[in-house]
Structure 1
Amino acid sequence: MASTARPLYQQLSRNITAYPPEEAREMAFMLLDHYFGLRKADVLADRALPTNRTEPDWFRIIERLNRQEPIQHVIGTTIFCGLEFEVSSDVLIPRPETEDLIRLIMHDFADMTERPVRVIDIGTGSGCLAVTLARFLPQSDVTGWDVSEEALTTARRNAETLQADVNFEIQDILNVPADSVGLFDCIVSNPPYVTRSEAAHMDRNVLDYEPDVALFVDDSDPLIFYKAVADFAVTHLSETGICYVEINERFGDATKAVFDERGFTSVQVYKDIHGKDRSVRAAKK
C-alpha cells in the first residue's frame, strides 16, 4: 500500500475504467480529498498520507464507480456553494449550474436588512438552495417544500449539519391549498424539467441512480411545474418580490412566456457558463 499521495492517486486513476481518463483522474482527486483531506496540490506534491488514516475499501469503491454509480453517492456528499451537502439516491445531486440561482438571489437581496427576507424553495430535494440561502442571507425566513418525505429527511439533516434554520414541509406544488401560506419575497425552484424523450441521451450515472420524480416531465406538458410555480407566485409573491427558476435549456423562451402571460412585467432569461439558457428571473415590477 502506498505511503504517499501520488502513487495512490495513479493507482485509483488507472482502476476507474468506466469513464474517460480525464474524468477518472478528477474522481481520484475527489477520493483523496474526501477520505484523507488531501487537496490537488497535495497530491501533485506527493505529500505523505496521514499516518493515522482509516483505509477505505478501495476495491468496493472502484467497483461502484465502474458501475457508474455517481461518485457523490459513493462518498455520500457533494459541495454546493462551498458547503458540503449529504446526498443519496433519494435526492437530485446539486449541480454547479444551480449555484447561478444563489448568485442571482444574493445580488437582489444581500442588502435587504430592514426586515427578514421570506424565502420558499419549491422542490427542495437535498435542501441545497434553502440551506444555502438561510446561511448566506443575513436575515431570512426560509421554507423548503418537497413531495418526497425521504428527500425532506435528507434536507433536514443537511440543515442541522450546516446549522441553517429552515422549515421543511411536505407539499406538492401541483396541489397547493389556496390559503395555505402567506406572501414571500423570494420564490425559488429547480423543478423537474427533463423530458422523457431526452432520457435516451442521458448517462447511466443519472438515469440509474437519481430519482425520476426530481428529473422528468412528460413531453406532452414539459412546462407543467413552471406553470404551477408561476401561478403560485401570482398570489404568493410580495409586491416587490422576485421568482427564480432553473430551466431546461430547450425551453428558455417558452418558460419566459409562462411568466409573461401571468402578468409579470420584468422577466429575464439568464445563460449559464456554457452559454445555455439556464434560469429565469421574474418580478411583478
Structure 2
Amino acid sequence: MTSARQLYLYIVKNITVYPEKEAQAIAFMLLEHYMRLRNIDVLVDRPIPETSAQPDWDNIIKRLNNNEPVQHIIGSTEFCGLEFRVSSAVLIPRPETEELVQMVTRDYAEPDKNISILDIGTGSGCIAIVLARFLPHVSVHAWDVSDEALEVAKENARQLIADVIFAKQDMLNVTFPLPGNIVQFDCLVSNPPYVTYSEAESMRPNVLRFEPHEALFVEDSDPLLFYKAIADFGVHHLKQHGKCYVEINEHFGAETKQVFEERNYKNVEILRDINGKDRFVRAIWA
C-alpha cells in the first residue's frame, strides 16, 4: 500500500470479527501506533514513503481475527489522556472507569494536607497513577493480589512519572500491619471483579480469552463479595467522613448501595455512567 487511505481500507476490509465501525476505529489505532498516521492523513490520502518501515499487517489482522485485543497487539492503551502499558495480566481500562477517576479528582481537587487514597485491585495502575498525576498533593497507595499485575502497574508508574506506593495485598484476606504502616485512609476507590459467571456467555471472545478472569468474575452465589470486603475494610480504615467510590455491576445497583448502608455509611449514592447505566456507588463513612 502506497497511501494512508489504501492501507486503512485494506485493514478495515480484512478485519472480519468486528462490526465495520469498530474495525475502522481499530484501523486508526494501528495506523497511529505503527505509522504515526492520523485520521486526517487518511482523509487526504497522504502518500507513504517507500522507505517507511511497516509491520506485518497480515499477521496483525490474523491476530485481530483471532479475537486478540488490539490493545494487546500494540501493547498499550489510552486512559485519561495517558498511555498505559497493558498485557494479559491486567484488565484493559474502560471509559467508564475514567468517569470513576473524574469523580475522585473533582472531590479532592482542593489542596489539603495529609490526604491519602487507596486504590484496591489496581491492575494496570491506571486509577492510582492518574490520581497521583492529577492530585500531586495526595498520597496514593495501590494494592493488587497479582504479582504480574503489580509489575505492569509499577512499570506504568515509572514511565508516567507517578508517585504511587504499590503493595501486594488480597482484599479478601487483608494481612496486617498494612503496607507502609498506614492505619487509615481518606478515600478508598476500586473497580473490583463484579461480572457474574452467568453473564460470561454474553461477553465477547476478546474479553473472555485474553483478559484475566480473576479481575473480571465473581460467583453467582455471592456477586457482592468484593463490595462487602471493601465496605468492611472501610469501617475500620477510613477516617471520619472518608469517602468510598466503587464501580459496580449495573444489575446490582440497589444491592450494592444496601451493602454500604447496612454498615452505617452515610449519603450512599448510586451514580450513572455516560450511557445512563447504574455504574458507581459513592458512600461516606460517618
Same fold (TM over 0.5): yes
**Displaced runs of 4 or more, over 3 A:** 48-53
After TM superposition, list the pairs within 5 Å mapping 1:73-222 onto structure 2: 73-111=72-110, 113-177=111-175, 179-180=177-178, 181-222=182-223
Alpha-carbon distance in 2 for matches of 1:169, 1:50: 48
- TM superposition score normalised by structure 2: 0.96
Give the equivalent residue in structure 1 for 2:10: 11
Seen in structure 2, the aligned counterparts of structure 1 residues 233 and 60 have a Cα distance that, compared at 3 Å, is same
Alpha-carbon distance in 2 for matches of 1:146, 1:161: 19
Give the equivalent residue in structure 2 for 1:29: 28
2:265 is paired with a residue whose SS is coil
Cα deviation, 1:95-136, whole Å, max 9, x if unaligned, reads 00101111110110011x131421110000000001110000
Q: Which amino acid aligns with 1:190?
A: N
Give the equivalent residue in structure 2 for 1:234: 235
- TM superposition score normalised by structure 1: 0.96
Query: How large is the RMSD of aligned CA atoms in angstroms?
Result: 1.3
Give the equivalent residue in structure 2 for 1:55: 54
Q: Which amino acid aligns with 1:214?
A: A
CA contact (8 A) 1:36 1:50 kept: no
Q: Which amino acid aligns with 2:238?
A: L
Deviation at 1:17, TM superposition (A): 1.0
Structure 1 portions without partners, runs of 5+: none
CA contact (8 A) 2:8 2:28 kept: yes
Aligned length: 283
Alpha-carbon distance in 1 for matches of 2:52, 2:150: 33
Deviation at 1:194, TM superposition (A): 0.4
Give the equivalent residue in structure 1 for 2:63: 64
Q: Which amino acid aligns with 2:157?
A: A
Seen in structure 2, the aligned counterparts of structure 1 residues 41 and 116 have a Cα distance that, compared at 3 Å, is farther
Deviation at 1:52, TM superposition (A): 5.7
CA contact (8 A) 1:197 1:219 kept: yes
Q: Please state if 1:246 is matched with 2:247.
A: yes
Alpha-carbon distance in 2 for matches of 1:220, 1:44: 51
Seen in structure 2, the aligned counterparts of structure 1 residues 89 and 50 have a Cα distance that, compared at 3 Å, is farther
CA contact (8 A) 2:234 2:285 kept: no
CA contact (8 A) 2:169 2:175 kept: no
Seen in structure 2, the aligned counterparts of structure 1 residues 50 and 223 have a Cα distance that, compared at 3 Å, is farther
2:172 is paired with a residue whose SS is helix
Q: Which amino acid aligns with 2:241?
A: T
Deviation at 1:42, TM superposition (A): 2.4
Q: Which amino acid aligns with 1:108?
A: D
Seen in structure 2, the aligned counterparts of structure 1 residues 175 and 279 have a Cα distance that, compared at 3 Å, is same
Cα deviation, 1:210-251, whole Å, max 9, x if unaligned, reads 001000000000000000000111111111321100000000
Alpha-carbon distance in 2 for matches of 1:43, 1:179: 56
CA contact (8 A) 1:36 1:49 kept: no
Structure 2 portions without partners, runs of 5+: none
Instruction: Give aligned-pair identity as a percent.
Output: 58
2:270 is paired with a residue whose SS is strand
CA contact (8 A) 2:132 2:138 kept: yes
